[in-house]
Amino acid sequence: MESIAKLREICQSSRVVVGDDFLLNFYFKLSIYFTWCCLKMKMSANQVTVLSGSFAIAGGLMISSDSKWIVLLGAICFPIFEILDCSDGEVARYRKQGGVTGHYLDWYMHFVSSTALMIGLFLASREHFQSTWLLLIGLLAIVNPILDKTITNAGWTVICWTRLGDINNNNIGPCDKNAEEIGKIQQKSWLYRRLRFLIISPLQDRWCAFIVFLLASLDLLFYLTRIEIFDFRFPLLAYIGVIGTINLYIRVRNMVKTKALQAGYRRLFCPDEPLKLPKDASKEDIAANSLKLTKDYFL
């Protein structure tokens, strides 16, 4: 088995770097050790993906417990999911197993993870659902991550179906060179981007999992020091149910009111210049880089 340093070179050198997401980059620093273990156990990339989903389901069950120790253990499962989500791609690069099936399974596990977390928070908050409105907020929190991912899925599905129709009808469509420039990304101020991050980070899988881990750790610490504090699980669930629903409305409205879909079409199928990728980039990296170039249109 290669050394950790060699594995980093093999498995991580061609990955797409997300410069401003320090949490993801931190997980990548840890993931190579999990990758080493998975390779030692002769696991395939898809097996690692399924393992990550198993941790998420177990975490969702444990986070609904009345024991603060078990809640913390459940909260730890979700960062492990995120780390294994990095590891499965690394195993795929090492074994040269990248492909559409792996991408599909990997993406599906994100639905499993976020839904498991929300159901766990929902079950932990069941005593608060005597009010119909609070019950509705809890249900909205469960479906929120599903609907949020569906916005992205639906956008790319529509773009691909439109492309197939244009090819079938021999239609240039949004690739018309004479078409006016569409979908320019407006630069936002530093303050706007930071405030937006603070507001929507609990709605994003990676950061929500990290926030749950931090809150569960603090909750246990206060419990051990005999400091009474409120249970964080229902307020977090309510925040996601309310703010998440508002965020969904804004995202759908932006998709309909702006030319985001047309811009995504052009960026994916009519690039102004060829994509520049590392010489040893895998198909997985090419797909990830294409998404990186276009994701701003769907935020």
CB-based contact 174:165 (threshold 8 Å): no
CB-based contact 278:252 (threshold 8 Å): no
Best CA proximity match to 79, nearest among 236, 199, 171, 215: 215
DSSP 270: S
Which domains, ranges and CATH numbers included, belong to the chain?
4-298 (1.20.120.1760)
Query: Quick one: pLDDT band at residue 265, thresholds 50, 70, 90?
Result: confident
Its pTM stands at 0.83
% of the chain exceeding 90 in pLDDT: 53
Which one of 150-159, 208-217, 277-286 scores highest in mean pLDDT?
Answer: 208-217
Query: What average pLDDT does the segment 189-211 reach?
Result: 90
Best CA proximity match to 20, nearest among 292, 264, 263: 292
The two three-digit tokens of residue 240, written as one number = 């996601």
- The pLDDT value given to residue 294: 43
Residue 79, C-beta contacts closer than 8 angstroms, at least 6 positions apart: 27, 209, 210, 213
Best CA proximity match to 140, nearest among 120, 118, 155, 124: 118
- The pLDDT value given to residue 181: 52
The dihedral region occupied by 171, where left means phi > 0, alpha psi between -120 and 50, and beta the remainder, is: beta
d(CA 178, CA 166): 17
